[in-house]
Amino acid sequence: MGRLTVDVIAKSSLHVKNRRDEPLGQYLKKLTHLNFSNKNIDEIDDLSACKNLSVLYLYDNNITQIHNLGFAFNLTHLYLQNNNITHIANLSSLQNLSKLYLGGNCISVVEELEGLTELRELHLENQRLPLGEKLLFDPRTLQSLKKSLCVLNIKKNNIDEIKELSCLGNLNQFMAEDNQIRDIKELEYVLSQWQKLWYLGLSGNPVCQKAKYRDKIMVMSTSLEVLDGKEINNTARQFLLNWKAFRETKKKIAKEKKDKQEVQQKLDHPQIIQHYAPRNYTSPGIRRFRKPVDVLLTKTPNLANSGDDGKGALPPALESRGMGDGMEGIGSGPVRFLLLPSPNTVTKKHGLRKAASSLSVQNIAQP
């Protein structure tokens, strides 16, 4: 047939029968529904005579471009699925359009729908895209549809992310079967934004292979009534919600208990204070004690360090009596000295108890 014109409409058998002897211009003006689906149409001609057209069926044709529809201010339903359309254009004047069917075309970007403030349903399923490409959305279009759009159909479009669609707050039906959606966390966020959603179709996506996928979705969206074609049982959902609340409470109690135990452990076992004092290893008397003390320090990394402020000093008993054979005093070199408590308070390990006992302050102080 080729082009859709006024003459083609007038000569069609259906309209010849309906029009009878009525003048063509008057008949076209009263026309509200026009069905030319599967008629091998590849172009839309000037149809401005059909001023009251509200429903136009042009699916299953060979249309490549959308044009010559600017006259149709009263158009509410436009069916253009299964054509060869590559670009959405020339629809901004259709301010009363509520349902737009564009599935089965070659559209790669959803765009130029900013003027469609009354659009309720948008069907974009199964676009014939090049291998490896996916259907994309213009952020401006999404923002313009966020208050009106209720139904979105994007089946079979190789889509792997839907976070950008979260702005569609009035969405109540979302069909996204046979895509590449796999992120359960992203899905949880999007569902939290769609408070009116009652139908969700995700079958055929990798996310459906996740453990307890259906249970998780039921808990994520309390408004959901149908998931992947199956009705959601409210009793089952309430059980899952109660179980989730119980587990969260149990985790909270366990965490609080652990925190209390850590605090109590710090109070019951205060850190051992590590002092510093000037030292000089020129005297052979002190050299014999250096290695065991340093070894003990390296084996006990949890011993506290009091700092290098120079305030830590040897006990008076050691300062007055000296520490070894021929030692005349303690020099200016740094020496590390430990005030060790009884062996049982340091650790229960046998090796450390033995080291602590052998290096007590009393033994070190002996001349």
The pLDDT of residue 187: 95
Tokens at residue 130, please? 């090049």
pTM as predicted: 0.66
Q: What is the phi-psi region of residue 128: left when phi exceeds 0, alpha when psi lies from -120 to 50, beta otherwise?
A: beta
CA atoms of 232 and 220, how far apart (whole Å) = 13
Cα–Cα separations (whole angstroms), residue 264 to 222, 273, 340, 349 = 42, 19, 22, 21
Name the least confident of 113-122, 130-139, 357-366.
357-366
Dihedral over Cα of 23, 26, 31, 37: its sign? positive
In tens, the pLDDT along 250-305 reads: 777 778 778 777 777 777 766 544 444 455 545 455 444 455 555 555 555 554 44
What is the rounded distance in angstroms from the CA atom of residue 239 to the CA atom of residue 235? Answer: 6
Across 172-200, average pLDDT: 96
Q: Report the pLDDT value the prediction gives residue 358, as an integer from 0 to 100.
A: 53
pLDDT of residue 239: 60
Judge whether residue 25 has pLDDT over 70. Answer: yes
pLDDT tens track for 331-361 = 445 545 444 555 454 444 455 555 545 544 4
In b/e form, how buried is each residue of 106-141, taking b as 16+ CB within 10 angstroms? ebbebbbbeebeebbbbbbbbbebeeeeebebbeeb
Higher pLDDT, 285 or 94: 94
| Among candidate residues 255, 221, 211, 213, the one with its CA nearest the CA of residue 241 | 221
Continuous segment of H or E residues that includes residue 364: helix 361-365
Residues 213 and 187: their CA atoms lie apart, in Å, by 11
Task: Pick the closest to residue 124 from 92, 147, 99 (CA basis).
Answer: 99
| 208 three-state secondary structure | helix
Whole-number pLDDT of residue 317: 46
For range 66-90, the mean pLDDT = 95
Q: What is the residue type of 249?
A: T
